[in-house]
Amino acid sequence: MNFEKAVKELLKEVADIEINGNRPWDVQVHDKRVYRRVLHQQSLGLGESYMEGWWDSQQVDEVMARIIRSRLPQKIKQVKYLYPLLREKFNIVRAMAINYQNKKRARIVGEKHYDISNDLYRLMLDKRMIYSCAYWQSGSTTLDQAQEAKLKLICDKVGLKPGQKILDIGCGWGGFAKYAAENYGVEVVGITISEQQLKLGKEVCQGLPIELRLQDYRDLNEKFDHIISIGMFEHVGVKNYQTYMRAAYRCLKEDGLFLLHTIGNSDSVLKTDPWLHKYIFPNGVIPSIKQIGKAIEGLFVMEDLHNFGVDYEKTLLCWHDNFLKVWDEIKSKYDQRFYRMWTYYLLTCAGSFRARDMQLWQIVLSKHGLIGGYKSIR
């Protein structure tokens, strides 16, 4: 097989991307081994070859957006190359058989992703260190404003009132907990599986009615007025969705609300992208509406669903801009391979949201349905 010819033809005819072209989204190839590697390993090969400097583009985000919009990955599978197809089938069967997000494995993502450096996240994120989609549709013009607007939106959606006790599942560095305690007069219990997040979060929230714990959601068994979970459900895994929902149900008071903020997949899958799994979010899986619906059946009523996935592209690009600005300040802790890996992660995810392949959902759930209905807040 002529790998170079196959890749060039697919990129040009399907995605309007030219090899060594002069448009910002064209790809510059520095090592011709990339063609065989991409056909052989697909997503993993594309990402690893970028990390190793085999190819570049002025707009990696637009490269990914065009690849996704054109459904190029599906068309590549039509190329008669057996090994990737066999590997994919094997990975699906393995995902069905193994619970990759059980209690023992759950902390892997904390150790590999969230514990890499508080300094990196402090410099890359907004002032509250919110590591999830900001709310730009609020009219905000800066990342700080858009994240603040997102936090306010969440608090207002569940109707926080002074004196209430709130559970934050996946509390990160305590950004939401601090905002809610300061602005709404509530008490917050936050749980995380990251030791570095917990350490800094306790410093950030010192002096406020906030308790942050290193704890798995499966071990929770206490009552809260409302429950919030922001950007954590992506780490739960299909086999544990209902277990997670049962834990939330167990901890939510009868008249309380549960707000789930999660990236959403248009398709139901059992595993994540191979490159993201290996380098960024080990064992992560993006849920579909069907999967969430099945998990809440018999437990919760869906009161509201709000999709503002288009805002994630801008959020990711802001993080990338910040990363570039502070690289000289932190590069002594990393190497060039990490720089390219992190750039590829942020930009390809931005491209995915631009292509509308991924969504961002805020879902408001109640135990029995609110009498008179729920008034949607935007």
Q: Which residues pair with 258 in a beta bridge?
A: 227, 365
Query: CA-based angle 117:187:374, to the nearest 5?
Result: 100
Please name which of 172, 169, 173, 189 lies closest in space to residue 181, comparing C-alpha atoms: 189
- Among candidate residues 205, 251, 318, 349, the one labeled active-site is 349
- Where do the DSSP E strands lie in 231-266? 252-265
Residue 349 annotated among the catalytic residues of the structure: yes
Pick from 65, 50, 57, 14: nearest CA to 358:
65
Cα distance between residue 314 and residue 310, in whole Å: 8
Question: Are the C-beta atoms of residues 372 and 306 closer than 8 Å to each other?
Answer: no
Is residue 57 within 8 A of residue 20, CB to CB? The reply is: no
Q: Looking up tokens 């002594």, which residue turns up?
A: 332
* C-alpha span between 331 and 315 (Å, rounded): 23
Tokens of 14: 């399907």
Q: Which residues pair with 227 in a beta bridge?
A: 167, 258
Residue appearing with tokens 């490269």: 63
Q: What angle do CA 39, 40, 43 make, to 5 degrees?
A: 70
What is d(CA 258, CA 247) in angstroms, rounded to the nearest whole number? 11
The C-alpha atoms of residue 284 and residue 346 are separated, in whole angstroms, by 16
Structure tokens at 125: 């994120």
> What would the two tokens of residue 43 be?
């997503």
Q: Which residues are annotated as catalytic?
A: 349
